């Protein structure tokens, strides 16, 4: 078991299969040492191998805590998508940048705190030196499947 897979186990995280694509795209594309990872949302996989969305709705209607958890699940899906492209997770050199799109109810202005659910996960998994990253936290007034947050990201790989 690799270093990152061991750390996941310590954290109590079971890596799911990647979300099933809902349209015409790849989970990510690697060019040299940069992996461009597709946007995804915080689905999990149920007992019938279907993707379900434990937290749904606009943030403001759902709580900041639930949206934070949805961002964390999004990061876990990204990890699974990264594995699907590069195979060995220990080839992750560092997280470079993520853009988070928060499905915000009118008046909700704390997108950065929602996106922290993903940022904190990467730092918990990889440590600050490899896990801390650049980012932007933006606002949407709707998202596919009524997800509270969607994230796309860029990762440096070996």
Residues that bind a second copy (CB under 8 A): 22-29, 31-34, 36-39, 94-97, 99, 101, 104, 106-113, 115-116, 119-120, 123, 132-146, 150, 152, 154, 156
Length of the chain: 158
Q: How far is the CB of 116 from a second copy (least distance, A)?
A: 5
For a second copy, the closer CB: 12 or 106: 106
For residue 16, the minimal CB distance to a second copy (Å) is: 19
Question: Which residue, 6 or 144, is less far from a second copy as judged by CB?
Answer: 144
Rounded Cα gap, residues 65 and 75, in angstroms: 15
Is residue 77 within 8 Å of residue 18, measured between CB atoms?
yes
Report the candidate in 83, 69, 77, 108 with the shortest Cα–Cα distance to residue 30: 83
Q: Which is nearer to a second copy, 95 or 125 (by Cβ)?
A: 95
* Least gap, CB of 126 to a second copy (angstroms): 13
Residues in contact with 144: Cβ distance below 8 Å, sequence separation at least 6, in sequence order? 22, 41, 150
């Amino acid at each position: 078991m690799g270093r990152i897979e061991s750390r996941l186990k310590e954290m109590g995280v079971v890596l799911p299969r990647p979300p099933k694509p809902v349209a015409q795209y790849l989970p990510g594309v690697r060019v040299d040492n940069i992996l461009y990872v597709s946007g995804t949302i915080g689905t999990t996989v149920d007992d019938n191998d279907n993707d379900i969305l434990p937290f749904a709705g606009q943030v403001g209607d759902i709580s900041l805590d639930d949206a934070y958890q949805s961002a964390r699940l999004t990061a876990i899906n990204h990890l699974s998508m990264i594995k699907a492209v590069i195979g060995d997770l220990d080839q992750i050199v560092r997280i470079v940048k993520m853009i988070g799109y928060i499905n915000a109810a009118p008046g909700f202005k704390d997108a950065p705190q929602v996106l922290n659910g993903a940022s904190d996960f990467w730092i918990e998994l990889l440590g600050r030196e490899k896990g801390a990253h650049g980012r932007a936290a933006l606002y949407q007034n709707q998202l596919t499947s009524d997800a509270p947050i969607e994230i796309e990201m860029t990762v440096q790989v070996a």
